[in-house]
């Protein structure tokens, strides 16, 4: 990443039900949102993004599900990286990530902004079925971005927080038809479709269309795609249709990308 100290960027190092790890940067600061891949995979993906792991300022954990925390302990111990999470998330993940140096533990809370280096963070509550799940809006200067997956549902408050963001990684987890006609048991289908589950392509598309039309969103990477109930093509086409229905041309007015499951995504920079 190059440019002004106030530039912000998002790059998905990995995204999907098999592991989520998102790198955000501003100037010389670098923070991971979740680390649900192995330590070795995180090191390799960071290298592809041009960053040494010992340059990380922090890891922020959104919730305790294994696809968001599996590499947190390793990276924390190996590189002495502070880990930020809500009290509920700490209580739920502490036995899963191994021993952490108490000096590296940081407690945060939804709706209580905090700063790491030159990046400001605003964590917000999500309705996902975890102990104390959060999404993240971040900023540097006048530029705002967001990492918002595992949302469950989109509230008016969440929309208002996302509206100033010019770049965002947003959840397009599943195609509703693929999910309902697929092999998942009924209880799991209901959980995914509920306000405690994940956003579908259709709902993500509606959100993107509204954010593009009423907010400042101009660069989007779609993340947390289901391996069984979605395809990159379906997600892209569904969200593109909603953006274009709002009067904006994908590829011209709005840049739209898909986060890869095992390799780094396009880096969004503003």
Q: Is the pLDDT of residue 256 over 80?
A: yes
pLDDT of residue 30: 98
Candidates 160, 128, 134; CA nearest to 147 is 134
Candidates 91, 96, 116; CA nearest to 35 is 96
Q: Name the strand (E) or helix (H) holding 130.
A: none
What is the per-residue burial (b if ≥16 Cβ within 10 Å, else e) of 188-225?
Answer: ebeebbeebbbbbbbbbbbbbbbbbeebebbbbbbbbb
Residue at 210 is within a domain:
yes
pLDDT of residue 4: 53
The total number of structural domains in the chain stands at: 1
Residue at 140 is within a domain:
yes
- Summarize pLDDT for 169-217 with one digit per residue, the tens: 999 999 999 999 999 999 999 999 999 999 999 999 999 999 999 999 9
pLDDT of residue 17: 86
pLDDT of residue 3: 42
Q: What are phi and psi of 266, to 5 degrees?
A: -60, 140
pLDDT of residue 1: 54
- Summarize pLDDT for 25-60 with one digit per residue, the tens: 999 999 999 999 999 999 999 999 999 999 999 999
The CATH number of the domain where 40 resides is what? Answer: 3.60.15.10
Residue at 199 is within a domain:
yes
pLDDT of residue 262: 86
Residue at 4 is within a domain:
no
Evaluate whether 61 touches 13 at the Cβ level (below 8 Å): no
Evaluate whether 231 touches 195 at the Cβ level (below 8 Å): no
Q: What are phi and psi of 119, to 5 degrees?
A: -110, 130
Residue at 2 is within a domain:
no
Residue 258 lies in domain: 9-269
Evaluate if pTM is beyond 0.75.
yes
Residue at 1 is within a domain:
no
Helix residue ranges, H only, 128-248: 156-162, 176-181, 186-193, 201-214, 232-245
Judged by DSSP in three states, 40 sits in helix
- Summarize pLDDT for 134-163 with one digit per residue, the tens: 999 999 999 999 999 999 899 999 999 999
Q: Using CB atoms within 10 A of its CB, is residue 125 exposed (0-12), middle (13-18) or buried (19+)?
A: middle
Residue at 44 is within a domain:
yes
């Amino acid at each position: 990443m190059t440019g002004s100290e106030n530039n912000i960027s998002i790059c998905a190092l990995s995204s999907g039900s098999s592991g989520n790890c998102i790198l955000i940067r501003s100037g010389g600061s670098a923070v991971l949102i979740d680390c649900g891949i192995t330590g070795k995979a995180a090191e390799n993906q960071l290298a592809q993004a041009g960053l040494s792991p010992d340059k990380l300022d922090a890891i922020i954990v959104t919730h305790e599900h294994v696809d968001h925390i599996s590499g947190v302990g390793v990276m924390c111990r190996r590189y002495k990286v502070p880990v930020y999470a809500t009290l509920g998330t700490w209580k739920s993940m502490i036995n899963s990530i191994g021993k952490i140096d108490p000096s590296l533990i940081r407690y945060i809370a939804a709706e209580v902004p905090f700063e790491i280096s030159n990046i400001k963070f605003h964590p917000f509550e999500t309705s996902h079925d975890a102990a104390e799940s959060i999404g993240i809006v971040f900023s540097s200067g006048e530029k705002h971005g967001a990492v918002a997956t595992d949302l469950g549902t989109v509230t008016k408050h969440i929309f208002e927080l996302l509206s100033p963001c010019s770049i965002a990684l947003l959840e397009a987890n599943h195609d509703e038809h693929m999910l309902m006609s697929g092999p998942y048991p009924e209880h799991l289908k209901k959980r995914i479709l509920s306000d405690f589950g994940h956003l579908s392509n259709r709902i993500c598309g509606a959100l993107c269309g509204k954010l593009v039309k009423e907010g400042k969103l101009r660069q989007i990477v779609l993340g947390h795609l289901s391996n069984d109930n979605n395809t990159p093509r379906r997600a892209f086409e569904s969200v593109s249709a909603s953006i274009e229905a709002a009067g904006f041309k994908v590829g011209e007015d709005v840049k739209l990308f898909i986060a890869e499951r095992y390799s780094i995504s396009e880096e969004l920079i503003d």
